Amino acid sequence: MAKQITFEFEGKKYVLEFTRKSIEIMEKQGFIASDIVEKPVSTLPALFAGAFLAHHRNVKREVIDKIFDKLTNKQELIAKLAEMYNEPIMALIDEPSEDEGNLNWGANW
Amino acid sequence: MGSELVNSAPLPTYTEQFYKHFPFYLSIGMTYDQYWNDDCELVVYYRKANELKNARKNQELWLQGMYIYEALCCVSPVLHAFAKNGTKPHPYRDKPYPISAEEIKEYKEAMEKAKRKKAMAAFMTWASQLDLPDKVEREEVNADVRHD
């Protein structure tokens, strides 16, 4: 099951998700994921707007921006959106099977 | 310093990667709509299903090879040029190999039964060939039973 973000705004339920098609549309419109670090102000709302393409394609940009402004805990929201954005590509990559010779790794945070 | 890590070849976009993998998923039965518009995790299950399908296909081909091998073994007595007149091929198995647990159980039971029947037949043949006198006198043994 794909990762989704759900919320309700002005009585309407929204489900945010990225499909391969929505990512293709975003990239055609000039979205570059690596810009998140260099140009976060313009890229983050675009990333958020892109998550509407799968289930709410016809929602106007003004409404999306209004929702984005009202959402709390933005840092976590952005992290979740980035994770969701990567999901369609990560699903295509095979996990190496448990076998000798594979490297395990750890992080300290 | 470290400039070899900067200005390298541009990374392929996600869209390019999606199109690169698209033919494979079409080949294993995914539709255009499933790949592009449905749950993005669906590819994982299609891949696993494809692995199972390949394993099953491999098993089927191996089984087919077994049947062909056995059939060749059955006809082998008549296949060589110097076979004696009247040589007949061995009969081919009358049932397919048991595969399910129930079939295996039934097969083992049938084998046991056939073995017992064969042993009984061998015993009867042996018994019929014994040179026994017509009347066998039996000695009655009277045992003294002591009651303490």
With a cut of 70, say whether residue B4 has pLDDT above it: no
B51 touches A at CB < 8 Å: no
From A8's Cα to the closest Cα of chain B, the distance in A is 21
Shortest Cα distance, chain A CAs vs residue B22, angstroms: 10
* HSE toward the beta carbon, residue A38, CA cutoff 13 A: 5
In a domain, A104, yes or no: no
Look at residue A26 and tell me if it is in a domain: yes
Structural domain of A46: 5-93
The answer to whether residues B32 and B18 touch, using CB atoms and an 8 Å cutoff, is no
Residue A84 lies in a domain: yes
Interface touch A1/B41, C-beta < 8 Å = yes
Query: Minimal Cα–Cα distance from A69 to chain B, Å?
Result: 28
Is A33 in Cβ contact with B18 (below 8 Å)?
no
CB atoms B38 and A19 under 8 Å: yes
In a domain, A99, yes or no: no
- Domain count of chain A? 1
Chain B: residue whose CA lies nearest to A30? B13
Radius of gyration of chain A from its Cα atoms, rounded to whole angstroms: 16
pLDDT in tens, A21-79: 999 999 999 998 888 878 888 889 999 999 999 999 999 999 999 999 998 888 899 89
In a domain, A107, yes or no: no
Complex confidence, ipTM:
0.84
A23 vs B: CB within 8 A: yes
What's the predicted TM-score (pTM) here?
Answer: 0.72
Using the Cβ of A91 and the Cβ atoms of chain B, whether some distance falls under 8 Å is answered with: yes
- What confidence score (pLDDT) does residue A100 get? 67
Query: Would you state the pLDDT for residue B130?
Result: 82
Query: Would residue A98 count as lying in a domain?
Result: no
Per-residue pLDDT at B26? 97
DSSP A9: E
Note whether B21 and B42 are within 8 A (CB): no
Is residue A106 in a domain? Answer: no
Per residue in B101-140, pLDDT (tens digit) is 999 999 899 999 999 999 999 999 998 888 776 655 555 5
**Cβ proximity of B11 and B33 under 8 Å:** no
Q: What is the mean pLDDT of residues B25-43?
A: 96
3-state secondary structure chain B: CCHHHCCCCCCCCHHHHHHHHHHHHHHCCCCHHHHHCCCCCHHHHHHHHHHHHHHHHHHHHHHHHHHHHHHHHHHHHHHCCCCCCCCCCCCCCCCCCCCCHHHHHHHHHHHHHHHHHHHHHHHHHHHHHCCCCCCCCCCCCCCCCCCC
Q: How far apart are CA B58 and CA B64, in angstroms?
A: 10
Contacts of A23 in chain B (CB under 8 A): 14-15, 18
